[in-house]
Structures are given as structure tokens and as C-alpha cells.
Structure 1
Amino acid sequence: MAERMRIAGSLWSVPPAAQASEAHRLRDAGLDVLHWDTTDGVFAREGGFSVETAAAMTGESGMRAEAHLMVTDPLARLDAWTGFCELVIVHAEAEGWRAALDRIERRGSRPALALSRGTPATFVPSDELAVLTMSVVPGEAGATFDESALATVRALREAASGASRLLGLDGGVTREIGRRATASGADWLVSGTDLFGSSTPRAWLSDVRGAQAPSHD
């Protein structure tokens, strides 16, 4: 049987004063993973969260966490994030990404590689590596969804050749796009604006998880 669809909630588009209460609201609706974006103002526009804020909010919420490092040099930054995140994502377009993936694993977290728009699925070096496909320019929270991202997810799933891998989609993920993403082979979604903007988040999560495809094993 397939593992439950991994849905991670991004608070980037939520006003700071409401972030803690919104994390609790979504936790009570069934969300169990928080997605923390951090940028360096070079690879992606300034924004996201500091490691101190993310760690404190994760601990207070009692939820699991993943970190998305949208930075030019992830190796220099990742140690602090592996301290409390079970999964840490670095970009294929960043310097030293291979070394960063190795260090994440040595630090005890699961490594994942993010593909920016325009980076092909064939860039990924292993059919077992977790991959997060971006459907927006990194750092552009709330931007319009790029349809080509679904084709990248499908190509990655087909390339897995039966291997068990985690494949995600991030950027502009609505409830409807979440259903389409699962049909394309995704078993990991990152949503911010649409999920946290929902008045019925429990139904949002249930609907998307209910669309999950059979196991890819």
C-alpha cells in the first residue's frame, strides 16, 4: 500500500502575526509537516524564514519540518536546518549541491534536490533521490502555476523504473492542481497560499490525499 501523500504547508504568504495561529489551525485540520523556505537574496529574492524562527515555530507546533534552501551555497547553511528538519532540499542550480546532499544525509536528515523551472528531469543523478519540482520561479510565493512542471514530475516518475522515490511539486499548488499532480506521479506537495487560505483545510487535505495514485513500488 502506498504511504500517505506528504503535504507540507508553507507559511511564507501568511502575515507574520498570524503564522503561529495558522500553523495550529492547519495542524488541527490534519497537516503534519511545515515547509520552511529560506533565501539568500541572490539565488532567490529576499524572504522566507530564519532558522531560529523556523525552529521555534516547529517546536511550538509539535509538527514535523522540512527546509527548502534557495541559496547559492547550501553547504554553508544546511547544518542548522538538519538540526530540526527531517528533510532538507537544495537546488540543482546551486553551487556544491552534490556535496550538500551528501552532508544532509550524514547529518541524519533526508536529502532532496529541487529543480527550478527549465531544469530538465534528466539532470537528476539517481532514480531514488527525492526531487521537488518547482512550478514557479524560486522565491515567488503566490505566483502563477507553470503547467510544464507536471510534465517534469511525470518524466521523473517514469525514470524511476520501479524504484521507490519521493517526488514533489512546489509553487501555486491549489486543491485542483494537487489532484492533477498526484495523477502525474507526485506523492509530495508543498502548498501555501491556497492551503492556508482555505476556510475548510481539512476538506482540502482529504480531497488531495484521496486522489493519491496507487503505490509506485
Structure 2
Amino acid sequence: MKMLVTRPEPDAQATQDRLAALGITSEVAPLLTRHVLDFNLPALSGFAALAITSTNALRALEEKGLLEALNHLPVYAVGDRTAHEARSLGFTDVVSAGGTFERLSTMLALARLDGPVLYPAGKHLSGDLAHALAPHGIMVVTATVYDMVAEADFPEDVLARIKAGEFAAALIYSRRTAEIFASVLNERLDAAHKRDLALFCLSENVAQPLIESHFTRVHLADRPDEEAMMSLALAFAREQTGS
């Protein structure tokens, strides 16, 4: 039994390693590639906090050599993995919202910050933090620092092997990945293939484009994090192998 990992690098390799540690064979076929944009941040002296919803934002800041100028700020991270990445890059005051944009918004609203929030983010936002916090009187300055660019083509050999039943499941971590997966494969897989391929999704929001494209074996992680995705993959593997 083999699983398909669709997330971008370097996260795809990390997921593949985690699956291997569980005894699950996998293959990587990223549907998105990260590109750091040319950007300029405003003067940093007046900000009260840094909001992070993606490790890709941290990587973009690191590649531009901006972390040292920012690591005095407290970091409000969307989830544990993002919080871990922030700590590994030198931030010391880091809290996690537990995995959802809504929890992050609530945490910031209750933080009683004495200044605006800097929000380095991707070009394709999953949520509008400035809009969410405006009713609470919190100003958010959004800086677009990276873009996730869709791969030009889905690998034909991978498509052929999906049709041949080589992959029992695919792991889908973002709504944009799900949208691309559905768009590329919706017309290229018949109903039987969509029924046979299990899809593990990080959240209900991620799963929605796949359900709308009539993929029928869609499984949701209990929580929007990697640990829950690994638990989902392991439970499925055991069910398939009877172990």
C-alpha cells in the first residue's frame, strides 16, 4: 500500500519521513511551489506583535534576512507546527492558537495589544485577519511575502498509477491544494477511481472542493495538524492491512 503526498517541499519530505516511520510507503507529488516575492516591510518599531499563519511566511522572512529585526516581537502562531518553526528561528515569545484561523483571531482580540499587528502572509489568503480584528479596534498590517504557484502539470506517471490503483490514499493539507487536485483530476478520473482513492484532509474547509468534485472517500483529521493527519494515515493503513 502506498500513499501520495501532495504538499509543497520541504514539508512534503518531512511528511514522507513521518509516514515511513509509521511503516507507510509514500511518494511525493507537490502541486504547489513556494516563491518568495519582492517586498518591503514598514518601519518595525511600532508593532506590538507578529501574526503567522504559515511556516512559508517565516521562511520568506528568513530568506530576506529579516528575522533578526523581528525576533523581539511576540509571535501569535496559527498552530503548533508554525509555533515550533518560529521558536526554531529564534523567536522566544511564541503562543499557538491550536490550529485554526478563527482561534488565532480570537487570541489576538483578547491579547490587549498596545499597537498594530504585522501579518506577513501569502498572496492567496485563507482568511482576512485585518477584517476579523477591525471590530476589536486592532490594526493589522498585511505584508504579502510569498506566493504558492501551481505546478504546470500533474505528473502523467502518477496519474496512470492512481488509475492503476497503486495509491490507496492521498494527503491534502490546504484548500488551494485541494482545489488544484480537484481541478486537474476531476475530468481525468472516472467515478470508480474517485471512489477507490481515499483522501485525507486537514480540515472540512480543505475537503470541500474534493467533495464538490465527487470524490467520495474523503476523511477529515480530528484536528488541523500533522499529528492528526499521521493518526488518520496510520488508522487507515491498519484497516487496509488488517494489522
TM-score normalised by structure 1 residue count: 0.31
In terms of Rg, which structure is larger? 2
**TM (normalized to structure 2)?**
0.29
